[in-house]
Structure 1
């Protein structure tokens, strides 16, 4: 099989028909063998029913159902581990990333002998100013954390060769962040620019809390810098305490009346916040070790339609 398209899906009953209507002509126009892996990440709406109805009319559609909502990156992992294509494309179902770009990605990979082709957004005007600012901050941070160049404004819309997919599968990651893992591999890569569109239907499944979680996983999964930051903050706190001690001693020698409660209150609050921050940073790493020691799977597959006789095309 030439091409696999992995599509994480969570409560997307409204946008699924629009997605199929747009991506199917693109894939069939490539004139290659393909499959579309829709990974149902524990949807609670009519998404499973819609997928089954679509599969009756679309033999190349393959539905993988997870037992519960495991998160976007884990759903993507489930699809990558089961994709059978020589090339694998990952794309979101909301149509903000245009499926028409897949043809250009495949052509660039084949002609240039590339293992990775990133989809890079040239226009984020559909995002809010806050999201654009946080995205810029994230990518600046990501490049320093990974230690290798990370394509700016490249999300999870990308094409991977079989070599790249197998390399990702072999990595012992419990909380994968593919937008950083893929550049870290250092494989020959290229970029395809596109304009990001508005969501076709439904609501975003990536609120601020998930964005923060992604940023934390990105940092703690690739660098021990936060632990060093905690050490530096501790040293800074000690230095500040020494300075305060000198000031208090000087006031005592010079006979100044020092009420005391302001400086003490400030120092206590500062040191308390500093300790909590350091403990929180340490806890993130301990949590990752704890998760790895538990050895629990990041996701559980309930069914894979590839193991079931497909419906006849109607």
Structure 2
């Protein structure tokens, strides 16, 4: 059996501090897997520059000039982590047998790649990297993160618990993933929808080596909301259920009020009236907002805008000249 060609896909956004540290780690891991005869010598490390405002792209170009295992693509502008990962996967799907996507901050254990490749060699098409524990997270982050996965499952979205974007995907699965053309991308939910045999590999997550996290609470909440509205319409069903429930309660209260009025037992209830109006008004505004999110996503999908645009590749003509100049 021929050794599989592996492309490690690494999204990068303003990573000039951490990239020089972790890039040699990825290269060493590729070399170890090659020496163990698990992957082909033609395997590569693909950095995806997501419109960085610092020297990330210059570092990627320099790495490509130093070693042929390093290659890179540059997006025309910042389009977000999910789009950057997808751009790398789509770039790799026709050039390799398997991909492993991983962040470049050094938090995900690269030694888990050995077990991922072993699973693939045993016939598995998708291998999810799953965090073994969250003991290094704050209580708030652990509570919100685990609550997110449980909430997603409750809403009917198929996601792997405690899995982010560290995963192995075969080229065959990528070919089918390419048929998913939605603009609102949430890979944690899209990949399981493709199907095929899958497995999980657990690992311990470390602290970020350098730089700052590009996923503060605001972006995490946006990602969670995007995932929910991209993968499930259950929120709309919940709105309908709430509407029916309150309508039934309202009907009962209306009959009760009429009976009280006939019996002459009505009293002025200003406070209770205001509370009911505020409650129902808030529920209506939230419901309209949720419906608006779905309508907005539908509007964006109908535009069929590109999910990413590649402005440069390290192996193209103008980039080859840069590499040759740096090697001379």
Q: Identify the TM-score tier after normalising by the shorter chain.
A: over 0.9
Aligned to 1:290: 299
Aligned to 1:115: 125
1:277 aligns with 2:286: yes
Partner deviation per Cα, 1:217-248 (whole Å, 9 max, x = no partner): 22222222111111112122223323443444
Residue 154 of structure 1: CA displacement?
1.2
CA separation of 1:223 and 1:276: change in aligned 2, threshold 3 A: same
1:227 aligns with 2:236: yes
Aligned to 1:213: 222
Residue 256 of structure 1: CA displacement?
4.2
Secondary structure, counterpart of 2:63 in structure 1: helix
Aligned to 2:37: none
1:89 aligns with 2:88: no
Does the Cα contact within 8 Å between 2:13 and 2:51 map onto a contact in 1?
yes
Secondary structure, counterpart of 1:127 in structure 2: coil
Secondary structure, counterpart of 1:170 in structure 2: coil
**Aligned counterpart in structure 2 of residue 104 of structure 1, from 92, 115, 122:** 115
1:182 aligns with 2:194: no
Secondary structure, counterpart of 1:311 in structure 2: helix
Query: Normalising by structure 1, what TM-score?
Result: 0.92
Distance 2:294 2:313 in 1: 34
Aligned to 2:32: 29
Secondary structure, counterpart of 2:57 in structure 1: helix
Partner deviation per Cα, 1:9-38 (whole Å, 9 max, x = no partner): 111111001111211111111112211111
- Superposed counterparts of 1:1-314, under 5 Å: 2-31=5-34, 32=40, 33-83=42-92, 84-110=95-121, 112-146=122-156, 150-256=159-265, 258-307=267-316, 308-309=319-320, 311=323
Secondary structure, counterpart of 1:131 in structure 2: helix
Alignment gaps of 5+ in structure 1: none
Secondary structure, counterpart of 1:123 in structure 2: coil
Query: Normalising by structure 2, what TM-score?
Result: 0.89
Aligned length: 312
Secondary structure, counterpart of 2:166 in structure 1: strand
Distance 1:138 1:147 in 2: 11
Distance 1:297 1:11 in 2: 23
Distance 1:129 1:243 in 2: 43
Distance 1:267 1:237 in 2: 11
